[in-house]
Structure formats: C-alpha cells, structure tokens
Amino acid sequence: MKETVVYEKAMEVRDYEADIQGIVNNANYLHYFEHTRNEYLRHKGFDFVELHHRGIDTVVARADIRFRQSLHPSDRFVCRLAVRKEGVRFIFRQTIVREGDNAVCAEGETTVVCLINGRLGDCEELSEAFHSDFYAVK
Amino acid sequence: MKETVVYEKAMEVRDYEADIQGIVNNANYLHYFEHTRNEYLRHKGFDFVELHHRGIDTVVARADIRFRQSLHPSDRFVCRLAVRKEGVRFIFRQTIVREGDNAVCAEGETTVVCLINGRLGDCEELSEAFHSDFYAVK
Amino acid sequence: MKETVVYEKAMEVRDYEADIQGIVNNANYLHYFEHTRNEYLRHKGFDFVELHHRGIDTVVARADIRFRQSLHPSDRFVCRLAVRKEGVRFIFRQTIVREGDNAVCAEGETTVVCLINGRLGDCEELSEAFHSDFYAVK
Amino acid sequence: MKETVVYEKAMEVRDYEADIQGIVNNANYLHYFEHTRNEYLRHKGFDFVELHHRGIDTVVARADIRFRQSLHPSDRFVCRLAVRKEGVRFIFRQTIVREGDNAVCAEGETTVVCLINGRLGDCEELSEAFHSDFYAVK
C-alpha cells in the first residue's frame, strides 16, 4: 500500500504490552492503529477531545486486522495510514512495519463513522480536511 | 448465531476500560473475546499457559469485528462463542450481548492458528476436543 | 484489616493481564483497586460518570501498594475496602485476597481527593454517604 | 532529585490511556515507570526477557506514587530515574516531568527485588551493573 500512505507514526513496543506468550497481545495493535489515526487527526488540525466536546465522536464501526508476524518487547515500528471515503464511512488502511527487518507485522482496515450529537452523520469538516488524501480503489 | 453457541461467559465492564468518549475502548472487545476463548479452552480441559510451556501457542491470525453499539461503564454482558475449523485454522464466531436490553454490541470472527514449537501446525488435541462443537457453515 | 472492611468485590484475573513473566502486571492491581472503589461508590448510590458530569472528579493523589504474592491467570480473588477521612482526603485501605489459599496478594492505601469544578474541595455528599463506614485509626 | 538522575526516557501519552475524566488513568503511570526501568536495564546491557529465561525475575515489592498533576492526551513527558540499594532491594526513585511547562506530574519510589529461580535473592550482576549509579541517602 506504499503509494497511498499519507501519514506514518513511529512507535515502540512497551514491554508490558507483551503477554505470557512473550509477544505483543493482539488488542494492542488496535491501540497502535487508533493512536496513529488520532495523530493523523492532529496533523490535520483536529483534536479528538475537542471534537468530542463539540458533540462529534469518531467511532470505530468495524476493524478487520490480519496479524502476520508478532511484535516483541523493545521492537520499534512505524504505523502507516491510508484513507478513503465510502458514503459516510472513512476507511483507514493501516499497516505496522517493524524497524530492522521491515516485516509487515499487521495490516488491516478500520471503518470509522462520525456520531454527531449521538447520531450517525456525515462529518463535512473531516471530509474536507482528508479529501486530498483519499486514495482510489482500483 | 444462537443455534451454534457452545460456550458463553458473563463479564462486566470495568470503568477504566472506557475512554474519554465515555464508551468502552474498542481494543477491550478483543480482550473480552480472548478471555472468553481462553475460558472455553479451560472448560475443555486445556490451559493456555500449560500449552505454551509445552510449545503450543494459539495465536490470532485475523480478527474481524463489527461494533454495533457501545458498552458503557457498569454494563454487564455475555460473550458467546461458536467454533468451526477450516484447514488448520480455528474460526471463532463471537458476539457480545448486553444484559438488560439484549443488544448485540459487537460480533466478529477471530481466526486462530497453532504454532507448534514456533511453526504453523495442525493441533490435533485441540481439534479433537473441539470437534463435537464445530458448527456447519450453511 | 478484617474488622474495618465495609465493602468487597469478587473478581477474576483475565489472562491478558499477565505479562511475559507469567504473573499479573502490577499496574492491574491499581485497576482492581479502582474498580472496587467505583463499585463501592455505586453501592452508596453514586456514579463516578454522573459525578464527573456534575463537575465532581474523584482523583487519586497517592497510591502506596505492597505486592505480597503474584496473581496468575485464572486466579479468583476478592478486593476488600476500608475507608477513613483525613481533612479533605479519603483514605482507602484495600487488600486483594486470593480465593483458594486466602493469600493476601496485595495491600495498600489509596488517597483520593475531590476536584470540584477543577479545584480541590471537600465533597460533602461523599463524606455524608461514607461517614458511617469510616474506621478509626488506633 | 535532579542531581541523582542516572537515566531518563522520553515518552508521549497515547490517547486511549485517558479515561472518562479526560486524564491519564493512574495505572498507566506504573506502566511508564516500568517501561523506563526496563529501558534502563537495556541501557545497562540487560534484557528482562532474557533474564526471565535465565530464571531471574525482577518483581515489584512496593510502589508508592504521588500524583501531582494530571497528564492529558498528546502530552509529552520524560520519566527520570535514580536508583539505590538497601539490602537485597533496589529502590528506584522516579519522576514524570511534562514537556512544555516542566510540571512534575508524578513522583514515586518503586521497590524491586529479584526472584532467582522463584526465591528471593541478591542479584549480583544487577548490583554490579547499577553500582556506580547508586545515590546516597542524606
């Protein structure tokens, strides 16, 4: 997905994220993806807390993640992000690529919708801000 | 999926699982699903820690979850589980149903594979133990 | 501390709370303590979310916890709570006692203060509600 | 404690670490402290996973933390570390200092002991490695 990446965030595994098997627990990948999306929001001039206080909540409607290789304590990685829009839904394609060996450890699509005062809506300000970043589905 | 449910686990939201939006953070649903799968394993006579020490690791290859309604602090819910096998992969269908209004808050499929001494393998003892529970795909 | 216990909450370890050493990561004990305090609040007729929306935040000023024995995956335990007041501070003494062998796995004091519209204050409604439960320091 | 600091680690709040009150949940400070101690270990040439596999577990016997100011989503901070030894116990003094306003958000002492093949012991290799860093208690 390299050609469509519009944002990336470097992160590192924190040791407590590994579980008894010695590998990062799967739930943390959702955290990594979410944190990267929020940083992308900030990069675009938004703040998810400020949006929340204005009655706009971005919520995840679906997450579909394939786990390719396990991250381990002290691994560093980048989380890459591409985005498109389908109806009122923002589709984020994200990958986690480990530093060192460039292994794709996880990749997935997260569908995000906006609740405006608690009701599903089309968030125009986010659409405008992201618009130039949208990738085309071939 | 009621007709195929072979196990269910009652749980409750712990308040710290809610984030700044006041709803349970999505990553926690993976925790709820995982905990329920592990309890199912125990119910079948296995222990994922003991398996790990014998060189058998059950790892998630894919998680595809739809988030229907948000859980909130103090909500109680049951996590239901159905299972089938496709090749070497175990496919767990799981739903989270809130107590009180019976709302399906999340539903998803988690694909689990076994690493036997670090290599993808077909875990016969798990297959045998789960066999009578497998549901048919129509 | 048995004679002063005014509330207790039964819980179970969720497997993902164990880390690479196979024992529950220490941070989770703060979660167990917090969840028990919040359940105690509910038992007294309060809701920490509703309090938050009315401008009253209960925040932890200090946590001093001794870890005696490690909890492991699938352990069940009760978290016991005693409370007293010192000035504007609520002091919660809490212990975690494992089911089965009654081992005290952790014990500690958590100091909680109230922020009323962001400023340290004396929360009268909580004081009144907890008053009959306060234990005396000998 | 500036004069005794022997290691510091820069980190940032991840948004999901904030709870419903909009501030970082207290348990995460234990995570920040732990991650910093583990990085210090690495900096000294050790790896807590490799130690674990050799039968040496560093475990927290006590954590005493004062929370001064709350961290918020997107805050950056450094976690500073000083260390001394008392008997077989390593005492880590740690502070979390926010970038920007240099506010001390949390400070605490964590007592760490070594279990060698499951029994409390005096870990000579860690003592030697840390020795030149020990600060004197006045």
Q: Distance between CA atoms of D34 and D47, rounded to whole angstroms?
A: 13
The pLDDT score that the predictor gives to residue D137 is 80
Residue pairs between chains A and D whose CB atoms are closer than 8 Å: 36
The pLDDT score that the predictor gives to residue A138 is 67
Cβ separation D65–C70 shorter than 8 A: no
CB count within 10 Å of CB B66 equals 17
Percent of chain B predicted with pLDDT > 90: 88
Cβ separation D31–A14 shorter than 8 A: yes
Compute the mean pLDDT over every residue in chain A, rounded to the nearest whole number.
95
Cβ separation C26–D64 shorter than 8 A: no
pLDDT tens-digit series, residues A38-83: 999 999 999 888 999 999 999 999 999 999 999 999 899 999 999 9
Q: Distance between CA atoms of C57 and A138, rounded to whole angstroms?
A: 50
Structural domain includes residue A51: yes
Structural domain includes residue D89: yes
Average pLDDT over residues B88-105: 97
Output the pTM of the full model.
0.95
Spell out which residues of chain A touch residue C25, defining contact as CB-CB under 8 Å. 16
Select the residue of B22, B31, B47 nearest C49 (Cβ to Cβ).
B22
Spell out which residues of chain D touch residue B15, defining contact as CB-CB under 8 Å. 19-20
Q: By residue range, what is the domain housing residue C127?
A: 2-133
Q: Distance between CA atoms of A7 and A37, rounded to whole angstroms?
A: 9
How distant is the Cα of B15 from the closest Cα of chain D, in angstroms?
8
| Contact in structure between B75 and B96 (CB atoms under 8 Å) | no
Spell out which residues of chain C touch residue B48, defining contact as CB-CB under 8 Å. 15, 73
By residue count, chain A amounts to 138
What is the DSSP secondary-structure string of D51-113?
HHHTTEEEEEEEEEEEE-S---TT-EEEEEEEEEEETTEEEEEEEEEETTT--EEEEEEEEEE
Structural domain includes residue A40: yes
Structural domain includes residue D52: yes
Structural domain includes residue D129: yes
Name the D residues in 40-69 with CB < 8 Å from any B CB. Answer: none
What is the H or E stretch that residue D11 is in? strand D7-12
Spell out which residues of chain D touch residue B52, defining contact as CB-CB under 8 Å. none
Residue pairs between chains A and B whose CB atoms are closer than 8 Å: 62
B49: confidence class by pLDDT, cuts 50, 70, 90 = confident
pLDDT of B86 above 70: yes
How distant is the Cα of C14 from the closest Cα of chain B, in angstroms?
6
The CATH number of residue C103's host domain is 3.10.129.10
Q: Distance between CA atoms of D104 and D113, rounded to whole angstroms?
A: 26
B122: confidence class by pLDDT, cuts 50, 70, 90 = very high
Low-confidence ranges of chain C (pLDDT < 70): 1-2, 138
- Over chain D (138 residues), what is each successive 10-residue block's mean pLDDT? 88 93 95 97 92 94 98 96 97 97 98 96 95 88
Handedness of CA C68, C74, C76, C82 (dihedral sign): positive
- Residue A87 has, within 13 A of its CA and on its CB side, a CA count of 7
CB count within 10 Å of CB B120 equals 12
Select the residue of C21, C26, C30 nearest D52 (Cβ to Cβ).
C21
pLDDT tens-digit series, residues A89-128: 999 999 999 999 999 999 999 999 999 999 999 999 999 9
How distant is the Cα of C18 from the closest Cα of chain A, in angstroms?
6
Q: Distance between CA atoms of D126 and D90, rounded to whole angstroms?
A: 9
Cβ separation A31–D47 shorter than 8 A: no
pLDDT of B1 above 80: no
Compute the mean pLDDT over every residue in chain B, rounded to the nearest whole number.
95
Does C75 lie at the interface with B, CB-CB under 8 angstroms? no
The pLDDT score that the predictor gives to residue D81 is 98
Average pLDDT over residues B1-10: 88
Cβ separation C19–A19 shorter than 8 A: yes
What are chain C's partners, defined as 3 or more CB pairs within 8 angstroms? A, B, D
- Measured between CA atoms, the residue of chain B closest to residue C36 is B14
Structural domain includes residue A101: yes
The pLDDT score that the predictor gives to residue B48 is 85
Alpha-carbon dihedral angle through residues B38, B43, B44, B49, given to the nearest 10 degrees: 40
Structural domain includes residue B138: no
Structural domain includes residue A138: no
Residue from C58, D21, D32, D102 nearest A49 by CA: D21
- The residue written with tokens 């976690």 in the block is D79
A137: confidence class by pLDDT, cuts 50, 70, 90 = confident
Q: Distance between CA atoms of D78 and D104, rounded to whole angstroms?
A: 10
The pLDDT score that the predictor gives to residue B2 is 67
Number of domains observed in the structure of chain C: 1
